[in-house]
Structure 1
Amino acid sequence: MSSAQQNFNAGQTQGQTQVKAEEFVQSTKETASAATDKANAAANTTGQTAQQNKDESAGFLQQTGEQVKNMAQGAVDSVKHTLGMDKK
C-alpha cells in the first residue's frame, strides 16, 4: 500500500471517528435534557402534591378545632344548666 493510500485511509478513519464522537455527544446532550425535563416535572408534581396535602391538613385541623370548640361550649352549657346558671 502506498503512503498516499495509507494517509487517505487514516484521514477517512479519523473523519468517521469524529462523526461518531459528535453523534455520541449529541445523543448524550439529548438524554441529559430529557432527564432534566423529567426531573423538573417530578419536582413540580411533588411540590403540587405537597401544597395540596398542606391545604387538606389545614382544613382538617380547622374543622377539628371547630368541633373541639363546639364540644367545649356544649360542656359549659351543660354545667351551667346543671347548676341552674343558664339564662333560659
Structure 2
Amino acid sequence: MEVVTHADLDVLSVFSDGGTTLVRVESPARLNGHRVAQMNIPGEVSVTAISRNDHTFIPVSGTEFQEGDVIYLAVISSAMLRLEELLGIERR
C-alpha cells in the first residue's frame, strides 16, 4: 500500500484494509466560496468535518468553504490522485 505524503495533505488514519484513508488539509484558496457538495464524490471522497475558528463541525452539502478552514476527508485509495487534483496540490 502506498501512503501519499506532501506538505499540504496530512494522512491521519489508514483504515485496516488500506482502502480508505482519513486526511486533513488546509482549504486552498481555490475552494473558498465553493460548496462541500462540489468536493464530495459519492463512494470516493467525502468531506467529513471542517474546523473553522476553533470550532469543528460536520458540514452539510451547502456549507461553503472559507479561508482558514481545515478540511477532514475520507477518501478511497483509488481516488487519492483525484482528490489532489481537486485541491490543486502536487504529489512529491
TM-score by length of 2: 0.17
Which structure has greater strand proportion?
2
Which structure has greater helix proportion?
1
TM-score by length of 1: 0.17
